[in-house]
Structure 1
Amino acid sequence: MNPHSDNFIRNLELIRSVVAFTGLMLLLTWESFAPFFAYTAGRQRGTHVFRNLVVGVINALLVGFVFASLWFAVSQWAERNQFGVLNYLKVPIVFHFPGALLLLDCWMYWWHRINHRIPFFWRFHRMHHSDVHMDVTTASRFHLGEIFFSSCLRIPLIALLGIRFWELIVYETIMFLVVQLHHANVGLPRRVDNLLRLLIVTPAMHKVHHSRWRIETDSNYSSLFSFWDRLFRSFRLRKDSHTIHFGLDEFDLAEDQTLSGLMKTPLAERAPKNLERK
């Protein structure tokens, strides 16, 4: 099938949706029968899942109706005009997708790190970190403003790197499945986690990133491939993941966890806490 055809793109987008939904259902089931951290009341978990998924649907609608067509248009322009790093380097077709995969994931690492380092962007990103019961649905819990800025920046990024639209869809499909896994309230056997961590981000690795201790929060920025954190010296582990406490102290009020409270997170004037380990 022609990778530039509308049917090919539609089929990829359908596969992405099916993979994301299947991953969600499987991990929700896994969490229910073998949670890493014990759940509280069932109704509270249901509310938590519903709230995070609503946020995820809102973000998906923004991307689908506003940005997807822009990404497609700029990727087509870059390919027609042989614009961007991968096109300038005349990368052979067999290496084009692996190159796109690495470049996109490297950008995701640095974008994530920017969200922690620049106060303006942290105002939005802290909504993701304020989740005190991290599970698979936390993978969808990002502020609409963060998604907007990320999506806007992706437009010139696609052109500068010479990314093809189908490569972006495949990358997002793989990346989001891994992101769902490492946010899930599950634990892998230590040997399995250690082995997988050589290549991808694992639950034990990402749990550290959601710690309340700011030194741990500001580590493990990788989304798909774990080696970026080793390469850029932001890798960190804790021996016993059960001792990690999720969330942000400054957003522990019940009102902060409502849908309206989540949307107001960037406007809240809250001083960061837990800069040092207690």
Structure 2
Amino acid sequence: MQALINLMEQSQVLAAVIGLVILMMLEQAHPFFDFFKGSIKEKGKHLLANMALGLTNALIISVFFVGTWLWASNWAYEHQFGLLNWLQLSGLPAWGHTVGAILLMDLWMYLWHVINHKVPFLWRFHRVHHADAKMDVTTASRFHTGEIILSSALRIGIILLIGLQLWELLLYETLMFAVVQFHHADLALPEKVDQALRAVIVTPAMHKVHHSRWQPETDSNYSSLFSFWDRIGKTFRLHNPLKTLRIGLDEFDSEQDRKVKGLFTMPFRKADDQNSSK
């Protein structure tokens, strides 16, 4: 099992890197907003700032949380604890356990995302992600370390309650992050293609609305992997024409908010501080 987990962790990193490279190339070839037109330097600075957060978070998760998740997973399995393990005792097949794990983790991610928008303390951290006015594939990695620590700690309880096996969590995260990279990418997809895809997964046209500066749109389209949670939760929303959408947060629009230091300190600064620094 440990060999499988190590292989899946390596595959997860490889998939993320490949996804980043491919989507950056597609953004260059078929951009939707083309935020960095004629400015490779600005695109490079944007990439470095976002990836500084992403790499920091990946390191923290690897050092402090993966081992704890493994313990929680093993404990749940050995004690047959958690919803999926109880259902398996009642005849749920192994494939049902895995499908259930993916669906329940994605439901949790939807609910956790909603909570991050509704609870002011959590929003202070989550707004670092939303403050990116030039959203592209690198924005998928732009989450404040405080949010990642809180999310990772809560995941210990989620693993126990659901009865997740660690390899199932890694499988879900690999699938989920691939879709998260895709729907953050600055891509110009044909409307019919986007429409067909968003019947199942979250797409760029759908997720761009979530990054709108207008709060009713910001508070919509919370899904990470599967799009149907928003339809079930009645939080699904589109914006037409999409080209008129304005991405970012008005109160975090200064040069300071585009630098690595500014991203790390953003949750601890008041919005008024940003306006005075413009």
Q: Same fold (TM over 0.5)?
A: yes
Q: Which residue of structure 2 lines up, in the alignment, with residue 33 of structure 1?
A: 29
* Per-residue CA distance 1:168-190 (angstroms, 9 max, x = gap): 00000000000000000102111
Question: What aligned pairs does 1:184-203 form with structure 2 within 5 A after superposition?
Answer: 184-203=185-204
Q: Aligned partner of 2:65: which letter?
A: F
Structure 2, unaligned runs of 5 or more: 273-278
Runs of 4+ in 1 over 2 A off after TM superposition: none
Q: How does 1:149-164 map to 2 (within 5 A)?
A: 149-164=150-165
1:141-188, Cα deviation, whole Å (9 max, x unpaired): 000000000000000110010000000000000000000000001021
Amino acid across the alignment from 2:44: G
Report the secondary structure of 2:239's partner residue: coil
Question: Residue in 2 aligned with 1:259?
Answer: 260
Amino acid at match of 2:70: F
Deviation at 1:39, TM superposition (A): 3.0
Letter in 2 for 1:53: M
Unaligned 5+ residue runs, structure 1?
272-278
Task: Show the counterpart of 2:276.
Answer: none
Cα displacement (A) at 1:269: 1.6
Q: Is 1:82 matched with 2:83?
A: no
- Taking every aligned residue pair, what percent have the same amino acid on both sides? 51
CA distance in structure 2 between the aligned counterparts of 1:39 and 1:124, rounded to whole angstroms: 24
Give TM-score, length-normalised by structure 1: 0.94
**CA deviation after TM superposition for structure 1 residue 210, in Å:** 0.3
Q: Is residue 2:67 matched to residue 1:66?
A: no
Q: Could you tell me which residue of structure 2 aligns to residue 22 of structure 1?
A: 18
Matched, 1:142 2:143: yes
Name 1:275's counterpart in structure 2. none
Which of 9, 13, 18 matches 2:9?
13
Q: Distance in 1 between matches of 2:155 and 2:149?
A: 10
Partner of 2:173: 172
1:77-121 CA-to-partner distances (Å, cap 9, x unmatched) read 100100000111222212010000000000000000000000000
Query: Helix, strand or coil for the counterpart of 1:185?
Result: coil
Query: TM-score, normalised to structure 2's length?
Result: 0.94
What is the Cα deviation at residue 34 of structure 1?
Answer: 1.5
For residue 274 of structure 1, what is the aligned residue in structure 2?
Answer: none
Distance in 2 separating the partners of 1:186 and 1:160: 38
Tell me the number of residue pairs that the alignment of Structure 1 and Structure 2 aligns: 267
| Amino acid across the alignment from 2:107 | C
Could you tell me which amino acid in structure 2 is paired with residue 24 of structure 1?
A: L
- Residue 102 (1) aligns with residue 98 (2): no
Question: What residue in structure 1 maps to residue 122 of structure 2?
Answer: 121
Task: Indicate the residue corresponding to 2:53 in structure 1.
Answer: 55
Q: Which SS does the other structure have where 1:199 is aligned?
A: coil
Give the whole-Å Cα distance in 2 for the aligned partners of 1:63 and 1:84.
23
